[in-house]
Structure 1
Amino acid sequence: MNVLARRAADLLGVSVAEARPMAGGDLSQCMRLRLEDGRVAVAKTGPAPPEEARMLAAIAATGAPAPAVLAVDATLLVLEALPDTGAGPGAEADLGRVVARLHAATGEGYGWHADYAFGPVAIANAWADDWPAFWGERRLLCHAGHLPAPLFRRVERLAGDLRSRLPERPRAALLHGDLWSGNVLTAGDRVSGLIDPACYYGHAEVDLAMLSLFGRPGPAFRIAYGPSEPGASERAPIYKLWPALVHRRLFGAGYDGMVEGCLEAAGV
């Protein structure tokens, strides 16, 4: 039996009847397990499984769908397997409702209870009361030393101008933190689960910008979610820049075009 499956069986106290690797895990190992008691589960590694478990619990507490945590230790997370059969015609509207429900939960400041990571890229989440400072320091300037100097100088110029571009104290919404289509499970007209979070509290537009980084939800999403805030289109490239920078660090110079596109859209 696969080592991951064996460790999951030990955590659960149930034998594994079948284990199959799952596609899509660039930054972690992931296995789909059929347990001897008939349940189906997902076992995955990650940067901090106990923290991911807390994030999934926070999402579920809002009423948004998320997989239940079946077992967790310092290196492994075992989750219920949720249906993922594909999106029906009503799924976009349901995603709008789900994300609105998530964002209705608020924190007392910007950040999270612990730092996190995307693979080797650290995500600093220390609490702040000043949103432009949080975004500049924790999401943009943190890439110093990891980018070509001319590219980082443009990032630095943008970070220095955030007070004129971002609201000082937007409502501190609970963010998924990595909200792209691959982390949204659907079954017909319903969203069955939000997975692989990197949660923190911040401006709700961050998640909305991420949703449009590799595609764009249709009008049904926006109608169900609610209207845009004034100036959202000008802020979107600033918020897309962070995941673009993360992808550049993780996967190389092939993402320079995405980073430069965000900077150009932001007028830098």
Structure 2
Amino acid sequence: MTDDLKPDVAISDIENVLSKHLGPGAAEIAPLAGGNLSNVFSFTHAGKSYVVKFSDLDGAYETERYVSQLLTDRGIPFPGIIALGRIGRLAYVIMDRMEGHLLSDCTLDEQTRHLPELIGILKKLADADIRKTNGYGWIGPDGNAPYASWRDFVVAANAEDQTGTFWENWHELYRTSCLERDVFEEIYSRLMTFVPYNEPHRAFIHGDFHQWNILTDGNRITGIIDGNCLYGDFLVDLAVLDRHMPRCGVIQAYQDYQEKAGIAIPNFKERLMGAYYFKGLDGLRFYAKMGWEDAYIETRNFLLRLECGN
């Protein structure tokens, strides 16, 4: 198993892309760490800082422009999109570079101090205006999603036949990786038990709302980046943040925030369980595919313990 699914990108291709959209003069082109599926580079042009990302996945970045407009309209610091396109087999997107450094580089105390602001951003994400869109699941370039219900999406996302997607032939992971069929099927069964609690709720979901996709200047959150965006129950984003910052009291801080604001969250525990199982199940497949056995085992054990209320 590989721990790097990023495509190789020639420096000449990067220069050609930047020149096409911005004209000559791109400087300080340098690779950026982070991201598992995209090769990301920072650069400057005419005194401004930008990022360009490359991927060999079908449909990569096609939804970025819609998401950028949706979130910036809510006052959420998300990168503006400069250009989208293809060069050879690679898709690319040029974006504004957000200020700051990754929240993951901060100490635990520093991350915890940012928690109230993060909870506020979660609220803004959940309140994004998606009334003119339709569907559940992964968001398309037109702002719509393909499934009529959350249940339909969950079933499709975990089906064996994933032809033409990132998960094509994923059942092979049972044979070639640490993915355990009995564990996967047990978690899937539990997930389907909680689907009815999540199903009535449709909101914008960032999908990967954790400290490796959050930027800070040390005092405030300066950027939210790299979503795996979809429509469904907004508690999915809360579950992601809690799983990645388990020692920061994320769930209690969120409940305190909602109580202070006088906002009732029906079936909170059941919906959160459904969110844990949904993201956790996808995590098991991803960690197995990447060869990250430690992350796989930790996630598996967390999910199996959930039934006991731990």
Instruction: Tell me the TM-score normalized by structure 2.
Output: 0.70
Matched residue SS, 1:50: coil
Unmatched runs of 5 consecutive residues or more in structure 1 = 116-124
Is 1:126 the equivalent of 2:146? yes
Matched, 1:73 2:63: no
Say if 1:140 and 1:11 are closer, same or farther in 2 by CA, change over 3 A: same
Determine the C-alpha separation between the residues in 2 that align with 1:212 and 1:154: 22
Match of 1:42 among 51, 58, 81: 51
Q: Percent identity?
A: 23
RMSD across aligned positions (CA): 3.0
| Cα distance in 2 for residues equivalent to 1:96 and 1:187 | 18
Please say if residues 64 and 81 of structure 2, whose CA atoms lie closer than 8 Å, have aligned partners that are also in contact. no
- Distance change (3 Å), C-alpha of 1:221 and 1:262: same
**Aligned-partner residue type, residue 193 of structure 1:** G
Asked if structure 2 preserves the Cα contact closer than 8 Å seen for 1:91 and 1:191, the reply is yes
Q: Distance between the aligned counterparts of 2:256 and 2:85, measured in 1? A: 37
Secondary structure of 1:174's aligned partner? strand
In structure 2, the residue matched to 1:210 is: 240
Kept in 1: contact 2:78–2:223 (CA 8 A) = yes
Distance 2:26 2:13 in 1: 11
* Preserved contact between residue 209 and residue 239 of structure 1 (Cα < 8 Å): no
Q: Does 1:157 align with 2:189?
A: yes
Measured after TM superposition, the shift of residue 141 of structure 1 is 4.2
Q: State the Cα distance separating 1:4 from its structure 2 match.
A: 4.8
Counterpart in the other structure of 1:222: 254
Q: How far 1:90 sits from its partner (Å)?
A: 5.2
Give the match for residue 119 of structure 1: none
Gap change, CA 1:181 and 1:19, over 3 Å in 2: same
Residue identity opposite 2:121 in structure 1: V
Match of 1:56, SS state, is: helix
Match of 1:248?
Answer: 287
Misfit runs of 4+, over 6 Å: none
- 2:39 is the counterpart of 1:29: yes
SS of alignment partner, residue 217 of structure 2: strand
- Cα distance in 2 for partners of 1:82, 1:233 equals 31
Which letter does structure 2 place at the counterpart of 1:110?
A: Y
Q: CA deviation at 1:253?
A: 6.1
Give the drift of 1:31. 0.8
Matched, 1:100 2:136: no
User: Cα deviations across residues 99-120 of structure 1 (Å, max 9, x unaligned)?
Assistant: 21111024544224439xxxxx
Q: CA deviation at 1:261?
A: 1.9
Deviation (angstroms), 1:209: 0.5
- Cα contact 1:11–1:72 (8 A) shared by 2: no
The equivalent of 2:98 in structure 1 is: 82
Task: Measure, in 2, the Cα distance between the counterparts of 1:156 and 1:92.
Answer: 31
Q: Distance in 2 between matches of 1:52 and 1:225?
A: 30
Letter in 1 for 2:184: F
Aligned in 2, Cα 1:110/1:140: closer, same or farther, shift over 3 Å? same
For residue 8 of structure 1, the aligned residue among 14, 18, 41 is 18
1:48-59 pair list within 5 angstroms: 48-59=60-71
Paired with 1:162 and 1:233, the residues of 2 have a C-alpha distance of 9
1:173 to 180, 203, 206: 203
The answer as to whether partners of 1:176 and 1:200 remain within 8 angstroms in 2 is yes
Instruction: Tell me which amino acid in the other structure corresponds to 2:290.
Output: F
Aligned residue-pair number: 254
**How far apart, CA to CA, are the structure 1 residues paired with 2:97 and 2:75?**
18
Quick one: which amino acid aligns to residue 126 of structure 1? P
Q: CA deviation at 1:212?
A: 1.6
Which structure 2 segments of 5+ residues have no match?
Answer: 1-9, 161-166, 175-179, 260-264
Distance in 1 separating the partners of 2:25 and 2:227: 28
